[in-house]
Each structure stands twice: as C-alpha cells, then as structure tokens.
Structure 1
Amino acid sequence: MTRVLVTTDYLRPGDEVDRYLRGAGLDTVHRPPTGPRQPDELVEALGGITAALIGNEPMTADVLAKATDLRVVVRTGVGYDSVDVEAATRLGISVSNLPGINANAVAEYTFGLLLAAARRLVQTATGVAAGTWPRADGYELRGATLGLVGYGAAARAVVPLAAAFGMNVVCVTGVPPDQRLDPRVEFVDLPELLTRSDYVSLHTALTPRTRGLIGEAELRQMRSTAVLVNTARGGVVDEAALVAAVRDGVIAGAHLDVVAQEPLPADSPLRGVDGIVVYSHLAGQTAQARAAAGMEGAVELVAALEGKARHRVNPQPTADRSAHP
C-alpha cells in the first residue's frame, strides 16, 4: 500500500483528510513536528514514503535525495520556499502548493495588523496589563495610502477591505498589465510606492529576486510616519536594516507576522524594539482556511499520484525515482 506522510500540524489521524486519503487506498503516517526538525529526523520520517502532505518542512536537496521512495510533495499552503523545487524536479518529484487557499484569511489578518498599528492596540493592552493607562492618540485608516507589494490572491483580497475603510491603494507587481484590472488600485513602481504609502504591506513570494527586497535603501525611501506590515515571508525584509530604521526614526514601526527564523530566537534583534511587533505566523491560519487547505491538499496529493496534479509548481516529472540511489 502507498504510504503518505502527513506533517501539517493541524491534521490528525481519523479526521476528514485522513479518511479521504485512506478511502483513496493510501496508508497515512502522521508525524507533525514538535519543534525544529533536524534533516536526519526528516529523512527518517520519509523512509518508505511515496507522498508527503507538509507544512513548512525543510525539504532540501539532501533530504529529497535521501527520501528515495518519494514521488509527490504537496504544501498545505501558498508559499513553497522550504522545498528545493529544482532538486525535486531533477529527482522526478512532483511539487504542488495551494494557490489562493488562504487569501481571505490573510487579507483579514492584514487589516488586523493595520488596525493594531494605527491604533497602537498591542502597546495599549500591554500597558494596561502592566498597570498603566496609555492614552496616546491613534490614527484613522480612512484617507491613508496603502502600498501593496505583490498582487497575488491575498493582496487582491485586501483591496475591497481597503476600499471599505476609505483607503487609497497603490501596488507594485510583476503581474502582466492585462491582469491589472481593478480600478481601485493604482499600479506604480517600488520607489513611488514607498514614498507615497502610509502603510506598506508585503504580499510577495520569497524568491532569489525578492530576498531582502526591503532593505536599508528601501526603508529610507519610506515616510518617517510609515509602518511596514509583513504577512508574506520573513526573508523579504532585511531585518537588521529594519531594526535600525525603526530605532533611528526612519520609519514609525513594523508589524511582522513572519520573520526569517521561526520561532523567533530569544536573542533576535527584533525583540525589545519600540514600534516593532512580532506575531507567530498566523495570517493564513483560521478554522476555515485550515479545513480548506487540508482537504484541497489531500485532493491534490491523490491527483498528483495519478499524474494529474492541478497546482504543480515544477515541470511534469519525467525522471524515474527508482533510477536514483
């Protein structure tokens, strides 16, 4: 029987996803990580596994090469930067993600961070818990300019929320002009977006091109009153440059749902900086989004095993896995 490894932490033996996979004739093995998982532990978990339904497992070239039975990897989310897609393609492994699966969840969460930043909600609640009674003025979102870096499903889902709040929206994207159809969005280049925006919200995938996209030079182009919001990937931001920018008053602050190293290390320079608030990578995690991602991931995994993947991010594998030691 074909064995499937499930590492996504909210999927459990006997749940709807498990029943679906078993109903398709697959033998499921649940091994969610309980902390950072070492490569050799992941290799051991992948022993005898044909397909994997994963969260953010580090599927490196070395891990993939040693997982000699693996034919399919499905990421129960949008980002797939934890998977070495080039190595997977070379080894004949199909890799899929679930584009747009949590767009609504991310969009709503983005506005949660925008409101938290504008009204200093975290700082106020922390102050009250500490016995003080903070009364600093906040800011209204109405009339402010929101800059979206990226125009994928989540960014597009942000636009109607921004319109409802009366915000102006500018966006930088590599999406072809014939797909930039929303009249509520003004498409500009990155320097113009940075100089005009009161809030800059990141919604771009982490690629070699976007790694460190927001660095010292970009932060210095932003307004001194501007706030950076990141629900994309931590690596898109140069964190050292961000810490310096907030401490020096180059920008007002940042609300980060994602960071370069997760969980956030105890000695991270992001800690203890007034104006920087770090959350625990929850933008896409709602009950509804998790349910949809689990089932859609399972459906994609079964389809990929049949050679009919719908959301494959690499070319159709033609290599025979058995040819690789």
Structure 2
Amino acid sequence: MSWNILNLAPTFRDAGPDGREMLEAAGCTVVETQRVCPLTASDLLTDLPGIAAVVAGADDYSSDVLTAPETSGLKMVQRWGVGYDAVDIDAATAAGIVVGYLPGFLDDTVADYTWALLLSIARRIPWGQDTMRAGDWHVTWGHDVVERTLGIVGCGRIGTAVAERAKGFRMRLLGFDPFPNEAARAAGVEFVSMEQLLEQSDFICLNAAATPENRGLIGEPELRRMKPTAYLINTARGALLDEAAMVKALNEEWISGAALDCFSEEPLPADHPLRTAPNAILCPHMAPYVWGNAREMNRAAAQNILDLLNGRRPEFIVNPEVFDSPQLRVL
C-alpha cells in the first residue's frame, strides 16, 4: 500500500531530504504545494482530494474542511511542530482522522531563541546594528538582565527550558500556569497569579499554548499592569496577544519594548501597525528553524506517517481516542 502525501510545511522540504526520502522509499508519493503557506480552507478543499496524509503547517483544518467530501480520503494530519491550534481536534476525531504532532523536539530550540530575543531587546542590539549599517556610531542604552525578575507565562516543557537558562543570570523566576508542575519548580520557578507576575516582572516570556481560553491572554489591562521598564517576549503564538493593544503600549510607552516572533496573521501584513511601532523586534516566526533539529523533526514526521500506513499506532499523536472510533479511516 502507498499513500499520496501533501507537504504544506516548508521546513519539511527546505531542511533536507530525509523525511521525503523515507516516505518515497516506502512507495509513497510526496506532493509539494505551489501555493503560499499556510493554506486557507478553500485552498485545502481544492488540494486535498486524493491525499491520504498531509504534513501540515498552520493551515486551516477547521471542521468544515475535515468533514467535507473533498477530504473523505484523508487519514492523517501530521503537524510539523508541537502546536495544533489550527486543527479542530474534535472534528478530526469524529471523522476518524489521526492528528500527529512533534512534542519535545523544539523545547531547547525555542528556549534558546527566546533568550536570544530577550537579550537582544534588553541590550537593544538591533538598534546598534542599524546605527553601524547607516555609517554612524551612536551607542544605545539598554537594561541589565542579571538579578532581574523573569516572568514565564506557560510553564510546560518550553517554559521550563527558558527557566533553566535563567540560572546563569541569577534571576528571580515567576511563573503563571493553570497546571503548575514540579519540573518548573525544580528549575526555580515560583508560581504566582497573573497579576503578580505582570506587576513584578522585568521580562515576561509568553510560552503558553494557544487554547481557546488563552486567546487574547495579554491585552490592554495586562499590558498596563506591567512595569514601564519591562519587556515582553512572545515566541509561542500570536493569538495570545492583543496586537492592537500591543501597538498602543509601544507607541504610548506603557512598557519599554517587545520582541515578537509570532502574530495572529502570518505572514504579518506589510501595512500592519506593529511594523512601524517603536521599541520592537519583529521576526517572521523563526523560533523553530535550526538545521540539525529540523532534519530530526522531518524524520519523526515521516515515521509517524509510515507507522500509521503500516498499521502501527504512531508515537506522537494528539487524539489517541480516535483509535477506538468506528470512524477510524485506517485499519
């Protein structure tokens, strides 16, 4: 048996041939999209007929897509990454579609990148670069990190990895998470209320999942609670942040600055007001992109698909309950 597999994750293509070669060696046909990713629901309904599995980016896997006649042959949505907020898990399960993801692979990668942004915004490194590129020589003043307070919103694997990296800076660590865990406590995190974290932190890192409850988690009231000398770093999901409030906070100097790697709409529109807001570092969702780790993830994504194709339960699945469903689309 062989499957037609649609790749909608640019990194699965760009980071090396490992994953594709694994699938092709098993007799699968890998189809590369010619569209700009992520795909809309309309694009998916056009491209998914005849496709058994998709390597997914942040495309719109809504209930309307997953239950449409055009996707009746779809057996698996394999996310390239750990987040799956773009997939309606309940609808996938009801339709008998297995949803795969890649937990744990990006913990250190994203934690490192979070710290890269934190240090860059604290010491205003991009502004120094801009000065030099312009042929000038003007120093830019920043803030110390050592012995300051770091607030971590979302203390799962990535948030805990961020906390572990703070030890060398002798920072006080505050955490907010509806499910406090011992790993974060062992890394030195003191769990507090969101209000306490906002009011006491010098740096706030968003590392929470974009669940329905977390959408707009940081809005105008939260930004106004922050210290005027504080910085916000978001390497999680754009949906966590009210971007209109963020623009006001930067323009009116409620906070010292922000480093943002993810946005509610990606790519970020060219005319979005965040692009001209002061005291901000903006990056095009670069946190996952490192060569060695990406190739490992490509192999894991391919193996997940091959396991399902060969009648085995994949190692990394979001909805294991689908295997008890009479609607399951694989044997």
* C-alpha contact (below 8 Å) 2:160/2:187 kept by paired residues: no
* C-alpha contact (below 8 Å) 1:91/1:319 kept by paired residues: no
Task: After TM superposition, give the deviation of residue 45 of structure 1 in Å.
Answer: 2.1
How far, CA to CA, are the matches of 2:217 and 2:239 in structure 1? Answer: 8
What SS does structure 1 have at the residue aligned with 2:20? helix
Aligned residue among 166, 178, 184 for 1:162: 166
- Match in the other structure for 1:9: 10
* C-alpha contact (below 8 Å) 1:90/1:319 kept by paired residues: no
Matched residues, number:
322
Question: CA 1:286/1:261 → structure 2, altered by over 3 Å: closer, same or farther?
Answer: same
* C-alpha contact (below 8 Å) 1:225/1:252 kept by paired residues: yes
Task: After TM superposition, give the deviation of residue 176 of structure 1 in Å.
Answer: 4.4
Aligned residue among 297, 303, 327 for 1:320: 327
2:92 is the counterpart of 1:88: yes
Task: After TM superposition, give the deviation of residue 36 of structure 1 in Å.
Answer: 5.2
Question: Deviation per CA, 1:156-203, whole angstroms, max 9, x where unpaired?
Answer: 211221112222211111234555441522111211111111000000
- Match in the other structure for 1:53: 55
* C-alpha contact (below 8 Å) 1:107/1:155 kept by paired residues: yes
2:114 is the counterpart of 1:110: yes
Question: CA 1:186/1:129 → structure 2, altered by over 3 Å: closer, same or farther?
Answer: same
* C-alpha contact (below 8 Å) 1:252/1:275 kept by paired residues: yes
- Match in the other structure for 2:272: 268
Aligned residue among 228, 238, 259 for 1:224: 228
Q: Percent identity?
A: 37
Aligned residue among 200, 206, 210 for 1:202: 206
Normalising by structure 1, report the TM-score. 0.92
How far, CA to CA, are the matches of 2:209 and 2:34 in structure 1? Answer: 24
Normalising by structure 2, report the TM-score. 0.91
Question: CA 1:189/1:27 → structure 2, altered by over 3 Å: closer, same or farther?
Answer: same
Could you tell me which runs of 5 or more consecutive residues in structure 2 were left unpaired when the two chains were aligned: none
Task: After TM superposition, give the deviation of residue 290 of structure 1 in Å.
Answer: 0.8
Which AA in structure 1 matches 2:236? A
* C-alpha contact (below 8 Å) 1:21/1:302 kept by paired residues: yes
How far, CA to CA, are the matches of 2:13 and 2:100 in structure 1? Answer: 21
* C-alpha contact (below 8 Å) 1:9/1:33 kept by paired residues: no
Task: After TM superposition, give the deviation of residue 35 of structure 1 in Å.
Answer: 4.7
How far, CA to CA, are the matches of 1:85 and 1:32 in structure 2? Answer: 26
Could you tell me which runs of 5 or more consecutive residues in structure 1 were left unpaired when the two chains were aligned: none
1:134-283 equivalence runs, <5 A: 134-178=138-182, 180-283=184-287
Root-mean-square deviation (Å): 2.0
Question: CA 1:178/1:135 → structure 2, altered by over 3 Å: closer, same or farther?
Answer: closer
Task: After TM superposition, give the deviation of residue 245 of structure 1 in Å.
Answer: 1.4
* C-alpha contact (below 8 Å) 1:8/1:32 kept by paired residues: no
How far, CA to CA, are the matches of 1:147 and 1:32 in structure 2? Answer: 41
After superposing the two structures, state which structure 1 stretch, 297-306 or 93-102, moved more. 297-306
Question: CA 1:42/1:177 → structure 2, altered by over 3 Å: closer, same or farther?
Answer: closer
Question: Deviation per CA, 1:51-84, whole angstroms, max 9, x where unpaired?
Answer: 1111222222222223110011110101111112
The structure with the largest helix share of the pair is: 2
Question: CA 1:36/1:53 → structure 2, altered by over 3 Å: closer, same or farther?
Answer: closer
